[in-house]
Structure 1
């Protein structure tokens, strides 16, 4: 089972959501999971922001999930020099046993065209970063995800779940 995961923050509260899928071109989730977190404290000044990591780990524990791969809404690396992003924090928290693919609708200055995936003509590309899986393979998988629009169907679904839309 693969999981697409995102976290939505609303003040001090958070909601972590995941959708499970088996095939990259799956049009719908085989299962959905939601975890509400009542209080998420901001990091102390100068400390790394690990709020998203803590929420994802709570979701995985609460639902006893052991995915073969995780797709996150965000960055695994913040630049081509592999500066750690939230996805790399997750990869390390899972002892490097679960590959993580980060998909973002925005780009970052240090991420060149080699990290871009075009899913729809005349639309802006998605930015893809990864840990535990080759970037080329990660891009092929994201490009092959279901959905005719720029953002894959399952990534739209998990975002709605995290925001409380379903």
Structure 2
């Protein structure tokens, strides 16, 4: 199973949503998980994970992960060639490196990262940026290219974004 997470922040709470789907090419989800949590910390530039990681970890308590499952986060897993990690990297560590984490980001992080791949989907001239831990990023790049949908943002990730903002 693949579990994709996104969180949207309101004034006094965060809405975290997870869409579970069976395969990279799936058009429809199998299950949706939603949780509202209190916002524990303000946004801190360069430390986005401090705000979002607790939301994802809390929602993960409702899910029984298996070794073959994959988690997708809206953001980065790795940030540079010096070992700096993003939200997905911190989640990978929080899960004791037992579950592969894929980061799919809409905005480019400017530091060089040999583990970052650009994915062009549909007719978009703007890429998605893919990073991973626990899986080969080149394989993930191909899988993200084949995700359902004809636009830049895959169908289920677009739905995930909409649900997190609802």
**TM-score, structure 2 length as denominator?**
0.88
Relative to 1, partners in 2 of residues 1:80 and 1:117: Cα closer, same or farther, differing over 3 Å? farther
Residues 45-83 of structure 1: CA deviation (Å, up to 9, x unaligned): 99885121100000011x233151101110111224341
Query: Which ranges in structure 1 are unaligned for 5 or more consecutive residues?
Result: none
1:111 and 1:71 mapped to 2: Cα distance? Answer: 22
User: Contact (CA 8 Å) 1:4, 1:155: kept in 2 or not?
Assistant: yes
Q: Which residue of 2 aligns with 1:4?
A: 4
1:41 and 1:156 mapped to 2: Cα distance? Answer: 26
Query: Which ranges in structure 2 are unaligned for 5 or more consecutive residues?
Result: none
Number of residue pairs matched?
163
Residues 4-61 of structure 1: CA deviation (Å, up to 9, x unaligned): 1111111231011000011111011111110001342338999885121100000011
1:45 and 1:118 mapped to 2: Cα distance? Answer: 28
Which runs of at least 4 in structure 1 moved beyond 6 Å after TM superposition? 43-48
- SS for the counterpart of 1:157 is helix
44-53 or 31-40, larger mean C-alpha shift:
44-53
RMSD (Å), alpha carbons? 2.4
**TM-score, structure 1 length as denominator?**
0.88
Q: Which residue of 2 aligns with 1:78?
A: 79
